[in-house]
Structure 1
Amino acid sequence: MHRSTRPPLAEVLGVEVSLLQSGMGGVAGSELACAVSNAGAAGCAGGYKLVGEALSAMLARLVAGTDRPVGVNLIPEVVGDAELERQVAQVLAETPRRVHLSFFGMPRSPVLAGVAAAGRAAVVQVGTVEDGVRAAASGAVVVAQGIEAGGHLLGTARRDDLVAALRTRVPDACLVAAGGIGSPRQAARALAAGADGVLLGTAFVVAHESRAHPVFKAAVTGAGAHDTVITDVYEIGWPGRRHRVLATSVTADPHQPRTFIGRTVVEGRPYLIPRFSSAVPTEATTGRIEEMALYCGLSCADVPEERAAADVVRGFAPVLARTPVLAGARHPDNRQHPDNQQQVENHGSR
């Protein structure tokens, strides 16, 4: 595949390894984001619904924790246009230019133009070709999420199919593959399909620096791809999205009462967690962790143990580093990986 006119993700974001860390709300705090960036990849802290003092506190830790390129992830559809614009304005005002903005889903308001005008890089995760074309037209890095991914799903296509379709439509865009990538072989497969880098989520859920609850981490490292389901039961707080999670008693019986099953704390503020909440269990969460939303992608089969974030980045560097010597290792054999043979139909949906 011809790549001479298209820079890798590492060059676009000014990092050494063409690897994005997913800005998972709750799980991806400043500690994880900074550890990934300090290791040479592009870390990302989850902004989720944070605004005002809570967002300022997170941004201060992020800027203090690394002097390298790093991102803040925001979610347009859970906050609405006005709040998203407020979040974006706050990030732009309180961080240096090395902090890029990452969006989970295509923004509904013209925030991307404002990000570009401020001289910042933008990353947009999409699940459809149409949204990918729109994101590319704005100059953003486009993350193509396949249904192999853990967490909330933005489309219905497999990762490599979406990457290939987008590469045809936007040949000059910086394109990143997401979903089911837990090994260098899967990363190389995504590059062969047309990607310029990869995004990892599940592999970083179990990183030492992740804020995921220990029970959540243990469930992921002990799981295989067949232990995940696509369902829409965890809808409180984020309705209208299917998500890939580990199978639980809640996914098995969606008719249970919506009673409170736990508590958590976010930036110093306590919250109750009802059954069917989309809230992820973190180290600050107590209660019935095993019933909560344990987001997990098909890549769990390749992440059998908890590791330091730097070790995760180091493992992918031979495939994704922009160093010329290492770049030659981009294309090992393209054999079918067992993860991509898993069933990805809508198990567990209501």
Structure 2
Amino acid sequence: MRPPLAAVLGIDVGLLQSGMGGVAGAELACAVSNAGAAGCAGGYKLVGAPLSAMLDRLGTGTDRPVGINLIPEVVGAEELDHQLTQVLDETPPHVYVSLFGMPDDKVFDRVADAGRHLVVQVGTVEDGVRAAGLGAVVVAQGIEAGGHLLGTARRDELVAALRAELPDACIAASGGIGSPEEAARAVAAGADGVLLGTAFVVAHESRAHERFKALVTAAGESDTVITDVYEIGWPGRRHRVLATAVTADPDQPKKFIGKTVVEGKPYLVPRFSAAVPTEATTGRIEEMALYCGLSCSAIPAETSAADVVAGFAGVLPGSPAVTN
């Protein structure tokens, strides 16, 4: 019998938290890990001192498995190499590496040689087969997911197709999972665990702007759209967001609509920026990239990261309340 996600990563609940750039700081990641799941901080484009500051908080905030998410297509191979060097040199062994999208093959070898777990999110069967063959835990992302989309398949279709190709691989499902019932459906399709993003956007420990959180908890599935308008900083990739005045009229001028601060450094936020509004953001919040998956309809209120984890413990393989 193949081991569930919980056994592979050494966690109590087979649940991964998405490493959402801006939203998922070390505080959220550590809270999720301390609750028994696998938290993950969003590394995004951080490098040098800003990344070191996050890694320090991540490594000291929990002694449980916790991850740092990096995005190969956004930073490129050279910058990813720099980020990975910092992660492997500056964090203890319980910090795993999470990648959104496929890197070069040498990245898999480097992470394995360092004795770290590698989790790779994919949107196609081809990428999933390749990632699993190189030793990674595979996250199958369906188009129900909030944020940037790696493929065109629905979640359970992709999970089932990957399971048919990879009977012994560890596969987690991502996209539209806001309730234990939806997680159970993903497990029935062949998943060994799940990854949640939108459910953690509204966690108390999330760095999402309070207005962003309020809009997510008030939203239903029909309030989300798949678009490509928020492309400044991350071009060429569709994303699911809450419908805004910007998604309704993509011909507006690309002028600055706000300000934000990332690891102590101020930035202007242009209309159509891929950056999410955080607690450090001011300006026209409701025009910014409000990434949100179909799971929003099952997320009625802000809650703690620990409560989110507890709500899924009983339905996921490897959890104390589940008999395998």
Q: Which residue of 2 aligns with 1:158?
A: 154
Q: Which residue of 2 aligns with 1:180?
A: 176
Give 1:321 deviation, angstroms.
5.9
Structure 1 stretches of 5 or more lacking a match?
331-350
Note if 1:47 corresponds to 2:75.
Answer: no
Inter-partner Cα distance in structure 1 for 2:47 and 2:2: 36
Q: Which amino acid in 2 is paired with 1:88?
A: L
Structure 1 residue ranges, 4+ long, deviating more than 3 angstroms after superposition: none
Inter-partner Cα distance in structure 2 for 1:54 and 1:97: 21
1:1-350 → structure 2 map (5 Å cutoff): 5-108=1-104, 110-320=106-316, 322-323=318-319, 326-328=321-323
Give 1:97 deviation, angstroms.
1.1
Give 1:108 deviation, angstroms.
3.1
1:209-236, Cα deviation, whole Å (9 max, x unpaired): 0000001000000000000000000000
1:77-107, Cα deviation, whole Å (9 max, x unpaired): 0000011011111100111111100000011
Contact conserved, 2:313 with 2:319, CA < 8 A, in 1? Answer: no
Structure 2 stretches of 5 or more lacking a match?
none
Q: Which amino acid in 2 is paired with 1:257?
A: P
Give 1:137 deviation, angstroms.
0.6
Q: Percent of counterpart pairs with the same letter? A: 77
Q: Which residue of 2 aligns with 1:336?
A: none
Contact conserved, 1:16 with 1:321, CA < 8 A, in 2? Answer: no
Q: Which amino acid in 1 is paired with 2:84?
A: V
Inter-partner Cα distance in structure 2 for 1:108 and 1:162: 22
Contact conserved, 1:159 with 1:179, CA < 8 A, in 2? Answer: yes
Give 1:247 deviation, angstroms.
0.2
Inter-partner Cα distance in structure 2 for 1:284 and 1:267: 10
Q: Which residue of 2 aligns with 1:345?
A: none
1:281-306, Cα deviation, whole Å (9 max, x unpaired): 00000000000000000000010100
Inter-partner Cα distance in structure 2 for 1:273 and 1:192: 42
1:3-26, Cα deviation, whole Å (9 max, x unpaired): xx2101010001000000000000
Contact conserved, 2:14 with 2:319, CA < 8 A, in 1? Answer: no
Give 1:110 deviation, angstroms.
1.6
Give 1:109 deviation, angstroms.
5.2
Q: Which amino acid in 1 is paired with 2:122?
A: V
User: Size of the alignment, in residue pairs?
Assistant: 324
Inter-partner Cα distance in structure 2 for 1:231 and 1:85: 30
Give 1:323 deviation, angstroms.
4.3
For normalisation by structure 2, the TM-score amounts to: 0.99
Inter-partner Cα distance in structure 2 for 1:167 and 1:139: 15
